[in-house]
Amino acid sequence: MMDFSIIFKIAGLGILITVVCQVLKKSDRDDIATLVSLIGVVLALTVVISLVGDLFTAVKSIFELY
């Protein structure tokens, strides 16, 4: 049984990072803003990649690949 919380987690991360980026851009710190957005993307992608791995192992075990 999977839960919705992962979707909400990533959506919340996106909104948070957008707000932080806006604040940093308004206070003339564009370099830190790009860094923050990059870190957000990396964090989201780590969650996504672990889930993709879960899916692929599930498919492999169900369909007996390899």
Count of other CB atoms within 10 angstroms of residue 33? 19
Q: Could you say whether residue 20 binds other proteins (CB under 8 A)?
A: no
Query: CB 2 → other proteins: shortest distance, Å?
Result: 5
* Contact status: 1 vs other proteins (CB under 8 A): yes
CB 36 within 8 A of CB 24: yes
24: nearest Cα among 39, 9, 12: 39
Binding footprint of other proteins on the chain (CB under 8 A): 1-2, 4, 6-8, 10-11, 13-15, 17-18, 37, 40-41, 44-45, 47-48, 51-52, 54-56, 58-60, 62-65
